[in-house]
Chain A
Amino acid sequence: METPTNMTIKGILGILMASIDEDKKRRLISLGMGDPTAFSCFTTTDIAQDAVVQTLQSRKFNGYSPTVGLPQTRKAISEYLSTSLPYKLSSDDVYITAGCTQAIEVAISILARPNANILVPKPGFPIYELCAAFRNVEIRHFNLLPDRGWEVDLDSVDALIDHNTVGIVIINPGNPCGNVYSYQHLKKIAETAKRHKILIVADEVYGHLAFGDNPFVPMGVFGSMVPVLTLGSLSKRWIVPGWRLGWFVTSDPKGIFKNTKNIERLKKYFDICGGPATFIQAAVPCILENTEEVFFTRTLGILKQSSDLCFKKIKEIPCLTCPQKPQGAMSVMVKLNVSLLKDISDDVEFCFKLAKEESVILLPGLTVGLKNWVRITFAAEPSSLEEALDRVKSFSERHSHQQKVHIELS
């Protein structure tokens, strides 16, 4: 098997953690992963927790669910998603997956065929590359433009598409860049996809986590123009990534993708795979209907505060540049100016030395497709975030070219 083991986020983070110098006795602060549950300010709502306890204790959900998911769960998610769409999804459009990761796996597997290729953003989320490798699907990377709010480089998209291209993946709100695309830009993407007759895989795992100028617009809004496969989960908005409750949805009101054959294929794929725990599925209707707005607002408030803080602190660090203030999701991409550093040659070395010397974990951009960039997850306790970035600052000062400054002054 040719799959690269070292290129997963968890893999790299594991290696970075291992190089922490335990003698330093400093509190480890990880800004490496999109899992804010490590910080006590990020907890799920009691409504969600109680709902799951209730379904478990009812003893009615210890058996297998239908492989496409419990009907009440599918219905509840279809209603939840439809509130943001100009048409109504039916429960048949919704398939329950074990987290968004499995939804990605479904999307890649269902589109795979000999010689197929899928367009994936760079920087992006490496699970796409890994799933594609397992299913023998070729990956082609299109660029996101840092000086244009990380918008899709539609010219590069046009150049990459050929008759074997089956789809394009759009991650919005963006991981790793923290962008939230405007309605106009999403429309342009949809028009491009339509022109080339490929469908869109809309990774909306960070759906509704938008705290900047652009509101979150689901790609499904353009579902009548081009078929959209929407991927999502409870993980981010409800802060429960460990519950593994996600969905794969056909946002395709014209029925271009969801013809009888494709639906059969989807059902057959779900037949041979396992889905999430039945009692967690059973709690979803209650969770979606009863979670109060105040919970969502509170989370967004903390994220906005952290992202503002993160942006501000990065400006104080000369070797790091943040081209775009984060607008949503949980992380931001920051460019590393290696020429300002005296003994660090790239992002990987930067992150390793930082881990060792300062007990701070950042993710090398190489992992997500951009060498000499760094991904910083700002979804953390503001005080921890501040302390971590202070340590990054002192680290960079220690490793900067002092001499250059002197030469310029004299």
Chain B
Amino acid sequence: MGTKEWKFRENRNLRTAATFSIKRVLDDVNRNLDRSDGRPIIPLSHGDPSSFSCFRTTQVAEDAVVDALRSAKFNGYAPKGGALQARRSIAEYLSRNLPYKLSPDDVYVTLGAKQAIEVVLSALSRPGANILLPRPGYPVYEAHAVLNHLEVRHFDLLQEKDWEVDLNGLETLVDDKTVAMVIINPGNPCGNVFTRDHLQKIAETARRMGILVIADEAYAHLTFGSNSYVSMGVFGNLAPVLTLGTLSKRWLVPGWRLGWIARSDPDGIFEEHGVVECIKRSLITNTEAATFIQAAVPQILENTTDDFFVQTINILQEDADMCYKWLKDIPCFTCLQKPQGSLFLMVKLDFSQLQGINDDMDFCSKLAKEESVLLLPGFVLGLKNWIRVTFAIEPSALEEGLARIKAFCMRHANKQ
């Protein structure tokens, strides 16, 4: 008698979804590190500057959470959608950058921006639907789209136009099953910041196409170039916008897992089309941010002083300038744009200037092995043979890292 096979099998969708994972790729790059190299590893590949002491959150935030915890009043479940005081203060905070006022009902608190993505995409899921994602982009979108049976269609960001959205290309992708488009501004991975004009054009296009805009603004306010941050919600009267945000980046606390979804939809189109219901249903099965952290949000948003924000921007600017200056002089890097915001920039590999390097993954693997510097190969973001550089680390460590990258590129330069 043969043994019957156990009945549980893998979920194929999960397998496909998980190919879109920065973490997996970084694990693979990391594996090349030479442990006998005595020099410190320089990580220019991540999205989390909080491990560097120059990027420390404000005491106001820490105190707010300790107060909430010690009060012992916030150990119970929060209501689905978030504690009212958190929603109210987030609505007020976001309204400062909008020409209208958001109400607490327009805001849903999530377990970090990652969960905001999860909730929104599962809310939009319906048979045969498709979603438009930027290329290069942030693969968590692809992963959750697949998991929720949404077909992914990519539109390009145009490097030669400061990484603006290829609106013509986008229009060719839209059909009657398209539900939404995603923009990330300030941009991950490109470090661009869209102008107000461009955001308006995006909104007008979305309106014409009858699709909603998901505006990922995780890096809101983290701008240091000529373009200042404008919230997509400003154009909520043109096309309905779901804005995703978080404390993680501006307050340097990604580990606190406090994010939000905000509906910028003064004409109430979402309500009409049942999107609000869908978001609420999606929230039901999802877990929430810790109640006491939610309770601390009003204090954090209202009492953080400007000097904390200015300090962060100053270091980011110093890092961005340094990074641009160094990379500009290295022949194998092309298509370099001066970063305007966020923590990253994208740079293209010029293989005519290199020998013995096959592609972006090979470049990063060898760099890890020979110089203990970590960069992210662009293929996982949709642009093969490009590299994403995270410049948001301690400036002195960044300088060391850039010097090592230069040495590596010299060593692998095409000798002709």
- Show the binding face of A for B, using Cβ within 8 Å: 1, 3, 5, 8, 10-11, 33, 35, 37-38, 43-44, 49, 52-53, 56-57, 59, 61-65, 67, 97-99, 101-102, 105, 109-113, 116, 127, 130-131, 134-135, 163-167, 196-199, 227, 239-244, 256-257, 261-262, 265, 268-269, 271-280
The verdict on B256 contacting chain A, using a C-beta distance below 8 Å, is yes
Which residues of B in the span 28-73 have a Cβ within 8 Å of any Cβ on A?
A: 48, 50-51, 56-57, 62, 65-66, 69-70, 72
In the complex, which of the residues B48, B65, B69 contacts A49, with contact meaning CB atoms closer than 8 Å? B69
Residues of A within 8 A of B48 (CB): 63-64
Residues of A within 8 A of B255 (CB): 61-65, 277-279
Residues of A within 8 A of B66 (CB): 53, 56-57
**Contact yes or no, B285 A197, CB < 8 A:** no
**Contact yes or no, B144 A272, CB < 8 A:** yes
In the complex, which of the residues A59, A111, A134, A280 contacts B8, with contact meaning CB atoms closer than 8 Å? A111
Question: Mind listing 10 A-B residue pairs with CB under 8 Å?
Answer: A56-B62, A101-B286, A102-B286, A196-B7, A242-B291, A243-B75, A244-B111, A274-B114, A276-B257, A277-B257
The verdict on B289 contacting chain A, using a C-beta distance below 8 Å, is yes
Residues of B within 8 A of A1 (CB): 123, 125-126, 278, 281
> CB-nearest residue of chain B relative to A111?
B8
User: Which of B15-23, B95-103, B207-215 interfaces with chain A?
Assistant: B15-23
> CB-nearest residue of chain B relative to A112?
B11
Which residues of B in the span 135-161 have a Cβ within 8 Å of any Cβ on A?
A: 140, 143-144, 147
In the complex, which of the residues A8, A63, A166, A271 contacts B7, with contact meaning CB atoms closer than 8 Å? A166
**Contact yes or no, A271 B23, CB < 8 A:** yes
The verdict on B338 contacting chain A, using a C-beta distance below 8 Å, is no
> CB-nearest residue of chain A relative to B81?
A10
Given contacts A33-B77, A244-B111, A271-B23, contact A197 B287 (CB under 8 A): no
Considering the complex of A and B, which 3 residue pairs feature the smallest CB-CB distances, nearest first? Answer: A268-B18, A242-B291, A278-B255
**Closest approach, in angstroms, between the C-beta of B392 and any C-beta of chain A?**
12
**Contact yes or no, A59 B56, CB < 8 A:** yes
In the complex, which of the residues A35, A62, A262, A269 contacts B252, with contact meaning CB atoms closer than 8 Å? A62
**Contact yes or no, A113 B21, CB < 8 A:** no
**Contact yes or no, B111 A134, CB < 8 A:** no
In the complex, which of the residues B7, B147, B253 contacts A163, with contact meaning CB atoms closer than 8 Å? B7
The verdict on B177 contacting chain A, using a C-beta distance below 8 Å, is no
**Contact yes or no, B69 A269, CB < 8 A:** no
Interchain CA distance A109-B18 in the complex, whole Å? 13
List 19 additional contacts besides A262-B10, A269-B14; criterion CB under 8 Å.
Answer: A3-B284, A8-B284, A10-B77, A10-B79, A57-B66, A62-B253, A62-B256, A64-B255, A105-B286, A111-B8, A116-B9, A165-B7, A197-B4, A199-B6, A265-B18, A272-B18, A273-B115, A278-B257, A279-B255
**Contact yes or no, A105 B285, CB < 8 A:** yes
**Contact yes or no, B281 A268, CB < 8 A:** no
The verdict on B122 contacting chain A, using a C-beta distance below 8 Å, is yes
Residues of B within 8 A of A10 (CB): 77, 79-80, 284
> CB-nearest residue of chain A relative to B76?
A37
In the complex, which of the residues A33, A99, A277 contacts B293, with contact meaning CB atoms closer than 8 Å? A277
**Closest approach, in angstroms, between the C-beta of A32 and any C-beta of chain B?**
12
> CB-nearest residue of chain B relative to A33?
B77
**Contact yes or no, B285 A63, CB < 8 A:** no
Residues of B within 8 A of A59 (CB): 56-57, 62
The verdict on B322 contacting chain A, using a C-beta distance below 8 Å, is no
Chain B positions 275 through 314: 1 when the CB is less than 8 Å from some CB of chain A, otherwise 0: 0011011101111111111000000000000000000000
The verdict on B24 contacting chain A, using a C-beta distance below 8 Å, is yes
Residues of B within 8 A of A3 (CB): 281, 284
Interface size class of B (residues with CB under 8 A): 35 or more
Residues of A within 8 A of B293 (CB): 277
The verdict on B379 contacting chain A, using a C-beta distance below 8 Å, is no
Given contacts A10-B79, A38-B76, A197-B6, contact A110 B11 (CB under 8 A): yes
**Contact yes or no, B287 A244, CB < 8 A:** yes
The verdict on B104 contacting chain A, using a C-beta distance below 8 Å, is no
**Contact yes or no, A5 B280, CB < 8 A:** yes
In the complex, which of the residues B57, B75, B281 contacts A37, with contact meaning CB atoms closer than 8 Å? B75
Given contacts A57-B62, A272-B18, contact A198 B7 (CB under 8 A): yes
Interchain CA distance A135-B285 in the complex, whole Å? 11
The verdict on B319 contacting chain A, using a C-beta distance below 8 Å, is no
**Contact yes or no, A242 B56, CB < 8 A:** no
> CB-nearest residue of chain B relative to A60?
B51
Which residues of B in the span 183-200 have a Cβ within 8 Å of any Cβ on A?
A: none
Interchain CA distance A273-B18 in the complex, whole Å? 10
Interchain CA distance A113-B18 in the complex, whole Å? 15
> CB-nearest residue of chain B relative to A269?
B14
Residues of B within 8 A of A116 (CB): 9
Task: Name, among B4, B14, B280, the residue most crowded by chain A CB atoms within 10 Å (CB to CB).
Answer: B14
**Contact yes or no, B290 A280, CB < 8 A:** yes
Residues of B within 8 A of A131 (CB): 285
**Contact yes or no, B5 A134, CB < 8 A:** no
**Contact yes or no, B17 A268, CB < 8 A:** yes
Given contacts A62-B252, A63-B48, A279-B256, contact A261 B10 (CB under 8 A): yes
**Contact yes or no, A62 B254, CB < 8 A:** yes
> CB-nearest residue of chain A relative to B24?
A271
In the complex, which of the residues A196, A239, A244, A272 contacts B147, with contact meaning CB atoms closer than 8 Å? A272
**Contact yes or no, A272 B75, CB < 8 A:** no
**Contact yes or no, B23 A244, CB < 8 A:** no
Task: Name, among B12, B144, B257, B292, the residue most crowded by chain A CB atoms within 10 Å (CB to CB).
Answer: B257
**Contact yes or no, A277 B256, CB < 8 A:** yes
> CB-nearest residue of chain A relative to B112?
A274
Residues of A within 8 A of B51 (CB): 63
Residues of B within 8 A of A57 (CB): 62, 66
**Contact yes or no, A53 B70, CB < 8 A:** yes
In the complex, which of the residues B15, B20, B76 contacts A265, with contact meaning CB atoms closer than 8 Å? B15
Residues of A within 8 A of B111 (CB): 98, 244, 274, 276
**Contact yes or no, A273 B118, CB < 8 A:** yes
**Contact yes or no, B21 A271, CB < 8 A:** yes
Residues of B within 8 A of A257 (CB): 6, 8
**Contact yes or no, B7 A197, CB < 8 A:** yes
Chain B positions 199 through 227: 1 when the CB is less than 8 Å from some CB of chain A, otherwise 0: 00000000000000000000000000000
**Contact yes or no, B290 A242, CB < 8 A:** yes
In the complex, which of the residues A35, A130, A272 contacts B77, with contact meaning CB atoms closer than 8 Å? A35
Residues of A within 8 A of B324 (CB): none
Given contacts A65-B255, A261-B10, contact A43 B72 (CB under 8 A): yes
Given contacts A127-B285, A198-B8, A242-B292, contact A269 B18 (CB under 8 A): yes
